[in-house]
Amino acid sequence: MSGPQVLLRDVSAADRDRLRAWRNQSDVAQWMYTDAEISEADHARWFAAALSDPARRYWIIELDGEPVGLANLADISPAHRKCAWAYYLASPSVRGKGVGAYVEYWVIEHVFGPMGLSKLCCEVLVENEAVWRLHESFGFRREALLRQHVWKNGEPRDVVGLGLLADDWAMVREASRDRLRAKGYAFD
């Protein structure tokens, strides 16, 4: 069985307009902390800062050679051996096919492998239950319920804070690989 061909590549200057278009889609913005329309000028400022900040990393998620989403690391702290991450698949038509699960695996492996960090954190709006459950299925533990943590459309929203330690990952890594194999992904 051959599964989806998923690849993560560095964001380049040529991705700038695509990222603004994706981020302004309501089915992406609704899960982010801010969902006001992002202007071209604001996006250009954000993009330049994003690519030059050593505490951040951005990858385009490609499915069968087509760009389909964005994954990123933030708050990379070598001193505290940790960083945070987030991701989205821009088109709902590519969701639910196992792409997200593979991205989750790839990012975790990258953070604990080549980057040598020992903790990976993330925050998810509490109503985005499918996603915090997805993180938990990869070994993340809920470490916080951050009450009224962000305001969207004039309303306070609660956020789940999750953390995965390299030690946690060592315990679930093989089982996670087995789950991905069952979805058609191959590993050496």
Residues of this chain that bind ligand COA (CB under 6 A)? 28, 31, 86-89, 95-101, 124, 128, 130-131, 134, 179
- State in angstroms the smallest separation of the CB of 116 from ligand COA: 24
Which position's Cβ is nearest ligand COA?
100
- State in angstroms the smallest separation of the CB of 128 from ligand COA: 5
CB nearer to ligand COA: pick between 13 and 187: 187
Give the contacts of 26 (CB within 8 A, at least 6 positions apart): 35
- State in angstroms the smallest separation of the CB of 13 from ligand COA: 24
CB nearer to ligand COA: pick between 79 and 186: 186
- State in angstroms the smallest separation of the CB of 74 from ligand COA: 12
